[in-house]
Amino acid sequence: MAKSQQTFNKTEKVKKRLKKREEKQKKKEARKQAAKDNGTSGIPMAYVDYNGNLVDTPPDPSMKVEIEAEDIVLGIPKKEEGDVEEFDPVRNGKVSFFDSSKGFGFIIDSENNEKYFVHVSGLIDEIFENDKVSFELEKGMKGMNAVRVKKI
């Protein structure tokens, strides 16, 4: 005598799927009925005014500002001679921790006492704990990383 392949769990899943379909169809019908009753045909329009705010009235075309394509600058503007560099790219610090077997460690900046991650791939000289080093900062996946690290 063969056992039925239809298990209780399978029948429950089928019932649940059918119930979900019915609920979805009921919601669809309710939305259609609400649209007929309210007289709306869909999503109301929203406009953006000249200050970037959302409004329900269209913007006044007389206030439109013409911009020529030559006036648009793409990229970073070039530095003028009078511009001052914000910070020195080469920083000094002290190695607070370095595990040579795992190939990473941390350097504490001498100026602002920030702790920066350093990887063995960013080393120029071999470093150990409590060494004074100079390094540069580079944006990493989880924050700023010390790169081009060398002993002082």
pLDDT, one tens digit per residue, over 52-92 is 889 888 888 888 888 899 988 888 777 676 555 555 689 99
- What is the value of pTM for the model shown? 0.44
Contact 104, 129 (CB under 8 A): no
The DSSP line for 126-151 is ---TT-EEEEEEEE-SSSEEEEEEEE
pLDDT in tens, 25-45: 999 999 888 888 877 665 678
Strands 144-151 and 90-99 turn out to be: unpaired
Taking the C-alpha atoms of residue 16 and residue 3, their distance in angstroms, rounded to an integer, is 24
Contact 123, 149 (CB under 8 A): yes
Question: Can you name the CATH fold of 90-151?
Answer: OB fold (Dihydrolipoamide Acetyltransferase, E2P) (2.40.50)
Nearest to 58 by CA among 66, 43, 46: 46
Extents of the domains making up the chain? 90-151
Residue found by looking up tokens 């005598």 in the block? 1
Taking the C-alpha atoms of residue 42 and residue 4, their distance in angstroms, rounded to an integer, is 50
**Higher pLDDT residue, 132 or 35?**
132
- Sequence-separated (6 or more) residues with CB below 8 Å from residue 23: none
Contact 130, 94 (CB under 8 A): yes
Q: Is the pLDDT of residue 6 over 80?
A: no
For residue 61, the model assigns a pLDDT of: 82
SS3 content of the chain, % helix, strand, coil (to 5): 25, 30, 45
